[in-house]
């Protein structure tokens, strides 16, 4: 019996190729999209989950802002960890990590610049699940020791034994580190990427200023805690928030579960830009929507198609088949079809995954290893298959044999309504997705068009690292020489130096809380940001002054307490006439500073964030040491790529003559600024892709349903034509029902889409308006999709010779 059913199912699939292809392709696309999204979401949710990760927390700082505490800094003081551990017996381990963005290692001839390292307490290994595969942990308690990942060790030393070997670090001091351990490479699904660890005591032998001494003033350390299993974590968190070891009413310590960081944390000074929960949720929702759309599609097509099999059902019933047997047969067929679709989907997902990985910059794998992620969803897919197969099965098995054999099976009114409802749901989802896509892309282009208050075009930042021992002041002097050398190049319009620049994020920015305003009032709660730049920085970057002017350059070594502030800051201090603040004094860091100018607000952090109060002061004095970013503004000739290459060559030559032993990196400022929205742009593109898919699937469904409707109304169409109806009138007739459906779906979908997208926009400090035309466009698009998929077949039916369709009756 099963073999008989299987055979007939196969033959049926092959006989009705168009139907089978529509169905299998629709399902496969839906399932493939779902699988890929599931992998992505699973990966995003897998961050920092390891053996014992439930007991690991990160400590962070809350800052008081307007009477409330808000997350202020992902990093803490070097006293935070040890103090908390001492005070709270629930905490059994703590580790401090001082993050090193980039370190240049030298092994003989080999010079390798490596990102993602840390100075770390040895207790790192008691908290994180990265055991040494070689070496002895006790050696890591000594200064000037380092632990490498397998890959980095191989890069530096090849296949040789590396334990006990030493490495030189170029930081200007020629320090050598002994390799005391090797760990396996650390997977990328962690918020804190690590390629090497340098022992914490090394800090004392390096020139790290304040950081090396225990203090409550410099919070530059990531601190992680391990608590005893089974303790009341909420109570501990409360106790930590209530504690006040640093005795500062404007700050408090707080903790968060390590596995929550990637999707929930977006604090200043994070180790990396974290993921976004809302994006993950959006994508999950889209994944489910697409899958459900493709099932609805299947139900529709299968039910419509089942009408053609009424004869077979009649014969089987007459031959003695029971209803349950026919249901089993029908279910079996949908299972078979779904199996094909799943196989095709897995193949598709497998082929498309590398592309998708490339696109989102992840390392998703589809394989046996992560079956755990997929498995519950496979069960879900199976369940969906069963449910979606059940409706057509019930319909088909319910035919009365006499009517079925006479070919007089007409869909019941209820059945037609159900199928219309399904199409309605499909279009509802499609309209929501179209509006979503439009809003996302509108927001992204809105961000691109926003005036930044700064001109980043043709600006390149040169950042190098010296490979020779030089003292700071000589480096500073040389950098000034470089500035003037570069400005003599014909294509260079301006050169300046700065500690950081717009789009550089928090990496090289300082923040401070506590300032006394010119009128003598102090604000101990305001968080503000500051960095150093050459006086001509504003001119080179096109930042305008609203009042006053930039600070003057003073001789090296002479105190320069002149600073400029942004408009936001001046307004916070209570000034509406910007010129009034010029020449006034403010106090912070126990020094008195004079405001020489107010510059127009510019976006330092991109448009996701508000403009924050900000100071800029002289890089030659308090705000910078060593070699900083050299910013070069070039003329428009650089718009041609080949010219740009030549220009960069010349810049490099100048650099090499002044800093012969050094590395050099270029960054184009406009590109880097845009990169802040990279994730949003990708999200937008993913959104578009999946929306396209959803539209395609909905179109397939409508296409299938039309072919069925036309089949049913063939005679009617014939009679109407004989009675004189034009092709256009027939087309209108066939389209009318579906267009009514699309209209209703649109009316229901628009407010929901509006609500959801409004929520999404809240992520941005600067939002595009939700224009009426977005909704109109989505409506028109849905109409077009409907008309095209219906008319595909309707035209054929409308121009067919009526004699034919009437003769068959």
Partner 1 sequence: MLLELNNIFKWVNQGGNRVFLLKDLNLEVEEGEFISIMGPSGSGKSTLLNVIGMLDGFQEGEYKFLDESVHAMKEKNRSKLYKEYIGFVFQAYHLIDELTVYENIETPLLYKNIKSAERKALVADMLDRFNIVGKKDLFPAQLSGGQQQLVGIARALVAKPKLILADEPTGNLNSNQGEEIMQLFKELNQEGVTIIQATHSETNAAYGSRTLHLLDGRRDHK
Token pair of 603 as six digits: 């976006």
Member of 1, 234, 242, 728 binding partner 1 (CB under 8 A): 1
Q: Which is nearer to partner 1, 8 or 648 (CB)?
A: 8
Q: How many CB atoms lie within 10 A of CB 681?
A: 18
**Structural tokens at position 803:** 């004699």
292 lies in the site for partner 1, by CB under 8 A = no
> Which residue, 7 or 213, has its beta carbon nearer to partner 1?
7
For position 12 contacting partner 1 by CB under 8 A, the verdict is yes
Q: Could you say whether residue 494 binds partner 1 (CB under 8 A)?
A: no
Q: CB of residue 332 vs partner 1: minimum separation in angstroms?
A: 14
Smallest gap from Cβ 314 to partner 1, in A, equals: 7
Give the pair of three-digit tokens for residue 288. Answer: 């489910």
> Closest distance between partner 1 and the C-beta of residue 399, in Å?
12
Q: Contact at 8 Å (CB) between 605 and 612? A: yes
Cβ closer to partner 1: 273 or 322?
322
Q: Is 322 in the site for partner 1 (CB under 8 A)?
A: yes
The correct pick among 318, 371, 776, 784 for binding partner 1 (CB under 8 A) is: 318
Nearest by Cα to 219 from 61, 47, 421: 61
Is 18 among the residues that bind partner 1 (CB under 8 A)? no
Cα dihedral: 677, 679, 684, 687 (round 10): -170
331 is an interface residue for partner 1 by CB under 8 A? no
Residue among 1 and 234 whose Cβ is closer to partner 1: 1
Q: Is 281 in the site for partner 1 (CB under 8 A)?
A: no
Site for partner 1 in 392-411 (CB under 8 A): 401-402, 405
Shortest Å distance, C-beta 21 to partner 1: 18
Q: Does 327 bind partner 1 (CB under 8 A)?
A: no
- Which range binds partner 1 by CB under 8 A, 8-16, 345-353, 413-421, 768-776? 8-16
The pair of structure tokens assigned to 567 is 């408009």
What's the CA gap between 373 and 200, in Å, rounded?
A: 38
Output the smallest distance, CB 28 to partner 1, in A.
Answer: 24
DSSP state of 206: S
Contact 675, 271 (CB under 8 A): no
Read out DSSP for 21-47? HHHHHHHHHHHHHHHHHHHHHHHHHTT
Instruction: Say which residue the tokens 């299947």 belong to.
Output: 298
User: Considering the rule CB under 8 A, would residue 213 count as an interface residue with partner 1?
Assistant: no
**Residue that has been written with the tokens 């001091």 in this structure:** 173
Q: What are phi and psi of 180, to 5 degrees?
A: -115, 0
Q: For residue 792, what are its two tokens?
A: 């595909």
Secondary structure, 3-state, 594-621: EEEEEECCCCCCCCCCCCCCEEEEECCC
Number of residues binding to partner 1, judged by CB under 8 A: 21
Query: Positive or negative CA dihedral for 331, 336, 339, 341?
Result: negative
Residue choice 234, 242, 319, 728 for contact with partner 1 (CB under 8 A): 319
Q: How far is the CB of 310 from partner 1 (least distance, A)?
A: 11
Min separation Cβ 17 and partner 1, Å: 14
Q: Does 641 bind partner 1 (CB under 8 A)?
A: no
Q: Do the beta carbons of residue 394 and residue 334 sit within 8 Å?
A: no
Choose the stretch contacting partner 1; rule: CB under 8 A; options: 3-11, 255-263, 581-589, 730-738.
3-11
Cβ-count burial of 795 within 10 angstroms (0-12 exposed, 13-18 middle, 19+ buried)?
Answer: middle
What does residue 528 show for φ and ψ, rounded to 5 degrees? -135, 165
682 binds partner 1 (CB under 8 A): no
Between 371 and 402, whose beta carbon lies closer to partner 1?
Answer: 402
Q: Which is nearer to partner 1, 1 or 641 (CB)?
A: 1
> Is position 808 an interface residue for partner 1 (rule: CB under 8 A)?
no
Site string for partner 1, 733-762 (x = CB under 8 A): ------------------------------
User: What is the DSSP code (8-state) at residue 16?
Assistant: S
Q: Which of 285, 321, 572, 658 binds partner 1 (CB under 8 A)?
A: 321
Under the criterion CB under 8 A, does residue 689 sit at the interface with partner 1?
no
* Interaction of residue 8 with partner 1, rule CB under 8 A: yes
Written as six digits, the tokens of 588 are 């912070």
Residues contacting residue 322 through CB under 8 Å, at least 6 positions apart? none
| Shortest Å distance, C-beta 3 to partner 1 | 9
Does 451 bind partner 1 (CB under 8 A)? Our answer is: no
Contact status: 21 vs partner 1 (CB under 8 A): no
For residue 314, state whether it binds partner 1 (rule: CB under 8 A): yes
User: Three-class SS string for 231-260?
Assistant: CCHHHHHHHHHHCCCCCCCCEEEEEEEHHH
Supply the DSSP string of 56-76, one letter for each residue.
EEEEEEEEEETTEEEEEES-B
Binding pattern for the stretch 354-393 against partner 1, x by CB under 8 A and - elsewhere: ----------------------------------------
Rounded Cα gap, residues 31 and 382, in angstroms: 11
Please choose, from the candidates 762, 157, 158, 699, the residue with its C-alpha nearest in 3D space to the C-alpha of residue 166.
157
Whole-angstrom distance, CA of residue 292 vs CA of residue 296: 6
Question: In the set 315, 558, 636, 765, which binds partner 1 (CB under 8 A)?
Answer: 315
Q: Which residues in the 177-196 window bind partner 1 by CB under 8 A? A: none
Q: Is 672 in the site for partner 1 (CB under 8 A)?
A: no
| Interaction site with partner 1 (CB under 8 A) | 1, 4, 7-8, 11-12, 15, 311-312, 314-316, 318-322, 325, 401-402, 405
């Amino acid at each position: 019996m099963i073999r008989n059913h299987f055979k007939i199912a196969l033959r049926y699939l092959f006989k009705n190729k168009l139907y089978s292809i529509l169905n299998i392709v629709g399902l496969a696309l839906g399932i493939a999209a779902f699988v890929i999204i599931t992998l992505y979401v699973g990966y995003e949710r897998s961050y920092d989950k390891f053996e014992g990760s439930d007991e690991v927390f990160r400590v962070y700082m809350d800052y008081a802002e307007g009477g409330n505490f808000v997350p202020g800094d992902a990093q803490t003081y070097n006293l935070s960890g040890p103090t908390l551990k001492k005070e709270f017996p629930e905490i059994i381990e703590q580790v401090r990590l001082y993050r090193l963005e980039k370190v240049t290692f030298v092994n003989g001839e080999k010079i390798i610049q490596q990102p993602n390292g840390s100075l770390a307490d040895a207790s790192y290994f008691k908290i994180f699940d990265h055991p040494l595969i070689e070496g002895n942990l006790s050696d890591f308690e000594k200064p000037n020791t380092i632990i490498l990942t397998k890959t980095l060790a191989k890069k530096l030393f090849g296949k040789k034994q590396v334990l006990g070997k030493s490495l030189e670090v170029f930081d200007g001091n020629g320090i050598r580190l002994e390799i005391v351990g090797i760990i396996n490479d650390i997977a990328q699904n962690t918020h804190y990427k690590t390629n090497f660890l340098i022992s914490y005591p090394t800090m004392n032998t390096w020139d790290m200023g304040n950081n090396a001494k225990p203090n409550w003033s410099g919070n530059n350390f990531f601190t992680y805690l391990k608590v005893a299993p089974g303790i009341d974590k909420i109570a501990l968190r409360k106790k930590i928030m209530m504690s006040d070891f640093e005795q500062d009413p404007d700050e408090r310590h707080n903790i968060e579960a390590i596995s929550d960081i990637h999707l929930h944390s977006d604090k200043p000074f994070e180790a990396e830009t974290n993921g976004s929960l809302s994006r993950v949720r959006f994508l999950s929702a889209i994944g489910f929507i697409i899958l459900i759309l493709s099932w609805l599609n299947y139900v529709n097509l299968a039910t419509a198609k089942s009408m053609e099999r009424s004869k077979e059902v009649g014969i089987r019933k007459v031959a003695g088949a029971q209803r349950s047997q026919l249901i089993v047969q029908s279910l079996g067929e949908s299972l078979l079809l779904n199996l094909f679709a799943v196989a095709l989907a897995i193949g598709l997902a497998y082929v498309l995954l590398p592309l998708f990985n490339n696109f989102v910059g992840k390392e998703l794998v589809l394989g046996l290893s992560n079956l755990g992620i997929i498995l519950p969803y496979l069960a879900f897919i199976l369940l969906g298959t069963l449910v979606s197969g059940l409706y057509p099965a019930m319909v088909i098995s319910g035919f009365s044999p006499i009517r079925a054999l006479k070919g007089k099976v007409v869909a019941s009114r209820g059945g037609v309504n159900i199928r219309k409802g399904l199409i309605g749901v499909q279009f509802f989802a499609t309209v929501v997705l179209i509006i979503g896509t439009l809003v996302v892309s509108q927001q992204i282009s809105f961000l691109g068009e926003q005036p930044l208050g700064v001109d980043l075009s043709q600006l390149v930042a040169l950042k190098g690292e010296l490979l020779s021992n030089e003292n700071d002041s000589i480096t500073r002097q040389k950098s000034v020489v470089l500035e003037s050398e570069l400005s003599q190049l014909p294509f260079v319009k301006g050169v300046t130096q700065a500690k950081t620049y717009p789009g550089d994020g928090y990496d090289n920015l300082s923040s401070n809380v506590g300032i006394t305003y010119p009128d003598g009032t102090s604000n101990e709660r305001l968080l503000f940001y500051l960095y150093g730049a050459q006086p001509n920085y504003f001119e080179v970057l096109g930042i305008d002054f609203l009042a006053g002017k930039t600070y003057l350059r003073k001789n090296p070594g002479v105190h320069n307490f002149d600073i400029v502030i942004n408009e936001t800051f001046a307004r916070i201090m209570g000034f509406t006439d910007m010129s009034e603040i010029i020449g006034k004094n403010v106090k912070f860091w126990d020094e008195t500073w004079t405001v020489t100018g107010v510059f127009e607000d510019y976006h330092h952090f991109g448009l996701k964030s508000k403009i924050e109060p900000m100071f800029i002061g002289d890089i030659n004095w308090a705000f910078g040491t060593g070699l900083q970013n050299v910013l070069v503004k070039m003329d428009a000739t650089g718009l041609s790529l080949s010219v740009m290459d030549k220009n960069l060559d010349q810049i490099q030559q100048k650099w090499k003559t002044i800093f012969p032993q050094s590395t050099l990196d270029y960054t184009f400022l406009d590109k880097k600024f845009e990169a802040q929205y990279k994730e949003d742009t990708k999200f937008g593109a993913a959104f578009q892709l999946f929306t396209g898919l959803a539209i395609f699937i909905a179109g397939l469904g409508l296409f299938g349903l039309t072919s069925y409707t036309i089949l049913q109304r063939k005679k009617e169409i014939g009679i109407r034509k004989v009675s004189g109806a034009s092709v256009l009138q027939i087309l209108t007739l066939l389209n009318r029902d579906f267009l009514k459906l699309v209209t209703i779906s649109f009316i229901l979908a628009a407010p929901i889409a509006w609500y959801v997208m409004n929520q999404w926009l809240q992520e941005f400090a600067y939002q595009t308006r939700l224009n009426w035309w977005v909704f109109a466009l989505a409506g028109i698009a849905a109409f077009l999709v409907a008309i095209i998929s219906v008319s595909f077949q309707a035209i054929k039916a409308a121009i067919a010779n009526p004699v034919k369709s009437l003769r068959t009756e």
